[in-house]
Structure 1
Amino acid sequence: MKVLLLGATGLTGNHCLQGLLATPEVERVYTLTRRPLAQTHPKLTAAEADFEHLEASAHFFEVDVIVCCLGSTIRQAGSRERFYRIDHDYCLEAARIGKARGAKAFLLMSAVGASPSSTVFYNRVKGELERDIIALHYPLLSIYHPGLLLGHRQEHRLGEAALSRVMPLLNRGLIGPLSRYRGVEADMVAHAMVNEVRELSLPELTGPRVEERHYEDIVALAVAST
């Protein structure tokens, strides 16, 4: 199958890239990034894109599956308005183009607590994105709801770095319904997404169908082929 990966330069996205390139079921991996991708591979077609004008790169969306790990923070984006543009508008536009170009499955990296009615701005943006992509009626929309993503980032996030140090201890107390709020290694989320792609049977995707992946689902998917 052919896969388009968005957000390949990010923490989870880079792990996804390595996994997809190593997956025999994936014959071609396309990436669109806002900055150069420092990697080459016989299966990889990489290009920089202007996400304000994604239609100019519409031919990259002629794939079977889209994996979207695109995202930012308000600090990185510089304002709430810019954050909304990146985390909502860019992702939604990608989903719209992909649907129009025949993509059968869309795997979306969202966040635990995402809800269009949330009082937390970050969660509300993620929730509005989910709502709007659901309305596109993909044959399969798989939404990942990880808690705090753990792993080494190129950029330093002070609050996340402090929380990451204590998250393994906090995880022990997050049991039952609270387990979905556990911190999770970014490479585990990536393994789960890659395994889901690997196990897809494209002819059976007649949908529309929406799946939500929380902590325990992510862990189960991540170890499915190990």
Structure 2
Amino acid sequence: MKDFFTVIGGMGTMATESYVRILDQRTHAKKDQDYLDYIVVNHATVPDRTEYILDHSKPSFLPPLLEDIKQQSLLKPKFMVIICNTAHYFYQELQDATDIPIIHMPHLAVMTMKKQYPKAKKVGLIATKGTIADHIYEDEIKNAGFDLSLGDQAIQDEVESLIYDDVKGKGVADKDKYHSILKTMHDKFGCDVIVLGCTELSFAQEQAPDHEYDVIDAQSIIADVSIDLAKKVRNGEEIDFSKIY
């Protein structure tokens, strides 16, 4: 297969499945050949990202991801996407290991937010403790000129429950819990926009989009960008990856 892209996933599997489902649904294919060419690496046994970020004595998720990147680079995809926000903790190390462009999902999400909501002042971030601790989104949001709210411990506990107990643990999204989190971030903490900084939260958004709050869904955004880039690759267009943001 030529002119394809690679999806580094499995972190978690339900979130990766959500990305692939969105990707295929939005391609608007009328026949088999209209769909995109891609490889999905569902590396479910990658060590827990949050555990390592919070405690470096835990197994690191860098070695298996480096192995994935190097293996896929041998096949020469046109670009790669990593369907896990927290895994971008090692983004630079992973990009340095290959000459294949890796799309930076958190950066892409925040740059999209800046264009879509230029008048927003306070941005809420809901994510795993690992993503909060590694400051990937925090730095991106502040550098884009927004005030940031992380909510409080009660909200963090609800977010962790939604991610780990519901989506990862049961393969379902608790609609009421998800909507309650968004409402609290908006009403109590005054957030104009809420960034879904975990792909399990993107899964919840896919399953329960019927709410009134403005959210930035990094997985949805990278799916749209994947489609756009893949179609350009298929058409033989030259892509300047430094300008996609």
**More helix per residue:** 2
Radius of gyration: which is bigger? 2
TM-score by length of structure 1 reads 0.49
TM-score by length of structure 2 reads 0.46
